[in-house]
């Protein structure tokens, strides 16, 4: 199929891009285009115009500041994946990135573009949610920071206003000494996740869970923190409580049956992944490291 007719703008400055978005509520930002263009071809998306931001100054690059990895809007997935400073600051990033589509897609697609597309099965929204990160949205009234838990509102829907441009995403650093893990169940490698689970955990000197972060994708209309399981596991030694915590998370699966998987299958996959990811993350905790 082919997309419906649309206009095209290629602004050179952030102010110019913002002015175009402010004038046309149906215009859509084009960054990497790896999710948007297929959606347009299938007429799932029909924007009045594309605002191509690849030439806008100041929207490229990665930096580490204020306890977070700041990723600018035109930073490609592959840059994020291979950045050595990012690998040292948060090795979970590279582990998650290996599951994002395929290398040619990661060479073109952008991290912030994936966040704004907000597919509930995608890895980038899960990572931002798991880490408790945020995005910076720039609009006519200035910039505002939106926490991940507030940014993703529903299927392919975010809290970004039509006259705003998300200029940066902020992924917190991995806590010192923490263990981490991520995996997903897919039909084929590179497909969107039927279910994905990420975990970050720290242990105290007695081997009890000091802090734990658990999140899943593919089970609802947005990525979700598994807060009930987190509460059950905090302060535990994992072994006697992990199965119960995994079972307590099954109610978070609200995605309906579809052509790829039933809700029942997703619940079974979620339980298995929680068990595996918590165990794997705990095995990676660095003994003696400050937490």
CATH of the domain at 69: 3.30.465.10
Look at residue 1 in the predicted model and tell me its pLDDT. Answer: 75
Q: Is 288 among the domain residues?
A: no
Do 188 and 249 lie in a common domain? yes
Q: Is 289 among the domain residues?
A: no
Do 69 and 166 lie in a common domain? yes
Do 163 and 66 lie in a common domain? yes
Residues 144 and 7: beta-carbon distance below 8 Å: no
Residues 28 and 49: beta-carbon distance below 8 Å: yes
Q: Is 2 among the domain residues?
A: no
Domain range for residue 224? Answer: 179-283
Q: Is 272 among the domain residues?
A: yes
CA 109 to CA 188: how far, in whole Å? 19
Question: What does 135-197 look like in DSSP terms, one character per residue?
Answer: EEEEETTEEEEEEHHHHEEETTEES--TT-EEEEEEEEPPPTT-EEEEEEE-SSTTSPPSEEE
Do 138 and 229 lie in a common domain? no
Look at residue 145 in the predicted model and tell me its pLDDT. Answer: 98
Q: Tokens at residue 46, please?
A: 């029909």
Name the strands in the sheet holding 224-225, side by side, starting at the edge strand that comes first in the sequence. Answer: 179-185, 195-203, 209-217, 224-225
Do 184 and 274 lie in a common domain? yes
Do 167 and 183 lie in a common domain? no
Look at residue 239 in the predicted model and tell me its pLDDT. Answer: 85
Q: Tokens at residue 6, please?
A: 């649309």
User: Would you give per-residue pLDDT tens digits along the chain (291 residues)?
Assistant: 789 999 999 999 999 999 999 999 999 999 999 999 999 999 999 999 999 999 999 999 999 999 999 999 999 999 999 999 999 999 999 999 999 999 999 999 999 999 999 999 999 999 999 999 999 999 999 999 999 999 999 999 999 999 999 999 999 999 999 999 999 999 999 898 999 999 999 999 999 999 999 999 999 999 999 999 999 999 999 988 999 999 999 999 999 999 999 999 999 999 999 999 999 999 999 865 554
Q: Tokens at residue 148, please?
A: 């991940």
Residues 254 and 156: beta-carbon distance below 8 Å: no
Look at residue 124 in the predicted model and tell me its pLDDT. Answer: 98
CA 287 to CA 204: how far, in whole Å? 9
Q: Is 290 among the domain residues?
A: no
Do 165 and 93 lie in a common domain? yes
Q: Is 206 among the domain residues?
A: yes
Do 111 and 150 lie in a common domain? yes
Q: Tokens at residue 114, please?
A: 């994936």
CATH of the domain at 201: 3.30.390.50
Q: Given 172, 187, 218, which residue is the final one in a domain? A: 172
Residues 26 and 71: beta-carbon distance below 8 Å: no
CATH of the domain at 37: 3.30.43.10
CA 48 to CA 18: how far, in whole Å? 16
Do 124 and 200 lie in a common domain? no
Do 158 and 192 lie in a common domain? no
Please state the domain count of the chain: 3
Q: Tokens at residue 244, please?
A: 């119960």
Q: Is 212 among the domain residues?
A: yes
Q: Is 96 among the domain residues?
A: yes
Predicted confidence (pLDDT) per residue in 26-44, tens digit: 999 999 999 999 999 999 9
Look at residue 240 in the predicted model and tell me its pLDDT. Answer: 87
Do 158 and 203 lie in a common domain? no
Q: Given 143, 172, 201, which residue is the final one in a domain? A: 172
Look at residue 147 in the predicted model and tell me its pLDDT. Answer: 98
Residues 230 and 210: beta-carbon distance below 8 Å: no
Instruction: Give burial (CB, 10 Å; 0-12/13-18/19+) of 289.
Output: exposed
Question: What does the chain look like in DSSP terms, one character per residue?
Answer: --PPP-EEE--SSHHHHHHHHHH-TTEEEESS-TTHHHHHHTTS---SEEEE-TT-TT---EEEETTEEEEETT-BHHHHHH-HHHHHH-THHHHHHTTSS-HHHHHH-BHHHHHHHT-TT-HHHHHHHHHT-EEEEEETTEEEEEEHHHHEEETTEES--TT-EEEEEEEEPPPTT-EEEEEEE-SSTTSPPSEEEEEEEEE-TTS-EEEEEEEEESSSSS-EE-HHHHHHHTTS-STTTHHHHHHHTGGG--PPP-SS--HHHHHHHHHHHHHHHHHHHHHT--TT---
Supply the Cα-derived Rg of the chain in whole angstroms. 19
Q: Given 121, 147, 172, which residue is the final one in a domain? A: 172
């Amino acid at each position: 199929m082919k997309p419906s007719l649309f206009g095209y703008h290629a602004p050179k400055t952030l102010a110019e891009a913002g002015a175009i978005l402010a004038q046309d509520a149906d215009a859509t930002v084009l960054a990497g285009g790896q999710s948007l263009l297929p959606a347009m071809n299938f007429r799932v998306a029909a924007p009045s115009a594309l605002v191509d931001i690849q030439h806008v100054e100041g929207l490229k690059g990665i930096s580490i500041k204020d306890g977070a990895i700041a990723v600018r809007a035109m930073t490609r997935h592959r840059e994020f994946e291979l950045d050595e400073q990012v690998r040292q600051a948060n090795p979970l990033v590279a582990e998650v990135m290996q599951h994002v589509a395929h290398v040619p897609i990661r060479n073109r697609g952008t991290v912030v573009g994936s966040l704004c597309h907000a597919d509930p099965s995608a890895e980038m929204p899960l990572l931002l949610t798991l880490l408790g990160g945020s995005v910076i949205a720039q609009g006519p009234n200035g910039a505002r920071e939106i926490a991940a838990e507030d940014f993703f509102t529903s299927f392919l829907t975010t809290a970004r206003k039509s006259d705003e441009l998300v200029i940066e995403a902020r992924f917190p650093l991995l806590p010192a000494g923490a263990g981490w893990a991520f995996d997903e169940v897919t039909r084929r490698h590179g497909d969107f996740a039927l279910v994905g689970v990420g975990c970050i955990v720290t242990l105290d000197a007695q081997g009890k869970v000091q802090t734990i972060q658990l999140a899943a994708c593919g089970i609802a209309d947005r990525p979700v923190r598994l807060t009930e399981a987190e509460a059950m596991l905090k302060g535990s030694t994992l072994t006697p409580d992990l199965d119960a915590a995994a079972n307590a998370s099954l109610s978070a699966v609200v995605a309906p049956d579809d052509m790829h998987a039933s809700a029942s299958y997703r619940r079974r996959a979620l339980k298995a992944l929680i068990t595996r990811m918590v165990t794997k993350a705990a095995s990676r905790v660095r003994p003696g490291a400050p937490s």
